[in-house]
């Protein structure tokens, strides 16, 4: 039922006509996503999985002629889940990093945005460019970050004097920021903008400090992770990314969520 309704939603969202006859001989691909990272992937109040990643995933499945099914998995178990074959690909705004490449393979990026801090408008804090100076400026500040993200690694390696607190989801970190338990949160700038700043709860908060985009930690943008050695799947997905970039599908999804080009340079 769930698969069927997702397939129907996919057709509706992308406006591509798929005939049911196709389903029989299509390759079945299970896609792992987090479902707690608005606006990229989250569960709306109807209990449906929605967001930029989800729309992209559906478009890729149409382009690659895959019969796709979504599996929701919390972030800190998302790579172990892939390795354990709970699903075949991760489409969940996962940044392509060297550390992760030791465990999984990636397609090319499908978008890329910098990381930023968010804090209360009322809080005076000057975060200078460069991580050494930044570390000094933020010594002792409580910074919330999601467990097992590039942002956690980036903070631990570059802001060792800050009081880093990890959460299972970005939502919980945002909640504690609103509660005043945290001075700052760090995450992808788009996720913070759409998931916090543009919402009712985010009206007292703003971006602080510079953009961070260090390839060593932030990687080469968000890609699709697959198990090591599954080259056929990786190539199909890379081709599908190129297809939707070329035929305007990507642009349509981009415009549905953002007022700028999220693909980056």
Partner 1 sequence: MFDLQGYGWMLWDGLQMTLLVGLCSLVLAILMGLIGAWGKLSENRVARAAAATYTTVIRGIPELLLLLIIFYGTPTLIQGIAEDLGYDIIVDFNPFIAGVLTIGFIYGAFATEVFRGAFIAVPPGQMEAARAIGMSSVLAFRRVMLPQIWRFALPGLGNIWMVLIKATALISVIQLEELMRKSFIAMGATKLPFTFFFTAALMYLAITVISMLGQQRIERWANRGIRRA
Partner 2 sequence: MDFQIIVDSFPKLLEGMALTIEITGLALIMGFALAVPLALLRLSPNPLVWPPVYAFVLFFRGTPLLVQIFLVYYGAGQFRPLLQEYGLWAYFREAYFCAVLTLTLNTAAYTTEIFRGAIQAVPHGEVEAARACGMSGWLLNRRIVLPKALRLALPAYSNEVVFLFQSTSLVSIITLMDLTGVARVIVARSFDVYEIYITAGLMYLAVTYGILGIFRQVEFRLSGHTRERPDGDATADPLKPFG
Write out the residues near partner 2 by the rule CB under 8 A: 76, 79-80, 83, 99, 103, 144, 147-148, 152-153, 165-168, 172, 175-176, 178-181
Q: Considering the complex, what minimum distance in angstroms separates the CB of residue 237 from partner 2?
A: 22
Closest CB 43 distance from partner 1, rounded Å: 7
Assess contact for 103 and 79: CB atoms under 8 A. Answer: yes
Does residue 36 belong to the site contacting partner 1 (CB under 8 A)? yes
77 binds partner 1 (CB under 8 A): yes
Q: Torsion angle, CA of 230/103/82/47, rounded to 10 degrees?
A: -120
Sign of CA dihedral 34, 36, 39, 45: positive
Q: Does 31 bind partner 1 (CB under 8 A)?
A: no
Minimum Å gap between C-beta 171 and partner 1 is: 5
Minimum Å gap between C-beta 192 and partner 1 is 16
Minimum distance from residue 6 beta carbon to partner 1 (Å) = 16
Shortest distance, position 97 Cβ to partner 2, whole Å? 11
Residue 167 beta carbon to partner 2: minimum distance, rounded to whole angstroms: 6
Distance CA 161, CA 185 (A): 15
| Residue 176 and residue 167 in contact, taking contact as beta carbons nearer than 8 Å | yes
Nearer to partner 2, 86 or 165 (CB): 165
State the burial class of residue 177 (Cβ atoms within 10 Å of its Cβ: 0-12, 13-18, 19+): buried
67 binds, among partner 1, partner 2, none (CB under 5 to 8 A by kind): none
Site for partner 1 in 157-176 (CB under 8 A): 168-169, 171, 175
* Site membership for partner 1, residue 201 (CB under 8 A): yes
47 scored as a contact of partner 1 (CB under 8 A): yes
Closer by beta carbon to partner 2, 64 or else 143: 143
Q: How far apart are CA 37 and CA 51, in angstroms?
A: 9
96 contributes a contact to partner 1 by CB under 8 A: no
Q: Which stretch binds partner 1 (CB under 8 A): 78-86, 92-100, 128-136, 252-260?
A: 78-86
In the complex, which residues of this chain contact partner 1 (CB under 8 A)? 36, 43, 45, 47, 72-74, 77, 80-81, 83-86, 168-169, 171, 175, 178, 201
């Amino acid at each position: 039922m769930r698969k069927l309704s997702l397939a129907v939603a996919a057709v509706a969202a992308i406006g591509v006509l798929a005939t049911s006859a196709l389903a029989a001989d299509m390759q079945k691909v299970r896609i792992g996503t987090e479902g707690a990272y608005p606006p990229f992937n989250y569960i709306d109040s109807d209990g449906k999985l929605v967001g930029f990643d989800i729309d992209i995933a559906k478009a890729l499945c149409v382009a690659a002629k895959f019969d796709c099914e979504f599996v929701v998995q919390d972030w800190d178990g998302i790579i172990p889940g892939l390795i354990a074959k709970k699903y075949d690909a991760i489409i969940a705004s996962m940044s392509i990093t060297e550390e992760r490449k030791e465990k999984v393979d990636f397609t090319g990026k499908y978008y890329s945005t910098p990381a930023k801090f968010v804090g209360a408008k009322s809080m005076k804090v000057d975060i200078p460019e460069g991580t050494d100076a930044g570390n000094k400026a933020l010594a002792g500040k409580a910074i919330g970050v999601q467990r097992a993200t590039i942002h956690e690694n980036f903070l631990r390696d570059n802001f060792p004097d800050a009081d880093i607190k990890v959460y299972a989801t970005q939502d919980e970190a945002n909640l504690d920021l609103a509660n005043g338990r945290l001075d700052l949160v760090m995450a992808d700038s788009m996720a913070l903008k759409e998931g916090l700043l543009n919402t009712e709860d985010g009206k007292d908060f703003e971006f602080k400090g510079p953009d961070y985009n260090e390839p060593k930690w932030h990687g080469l943008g968000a890609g699709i992770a697959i198990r090591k050695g599954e080259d056929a799947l990786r190539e199909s997905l890379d081709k599908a990314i190129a297809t939707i970039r070329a035929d305007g599908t990507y642009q349509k999804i981009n415009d549905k969520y953002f007022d700028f080009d999220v693909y980056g340079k």
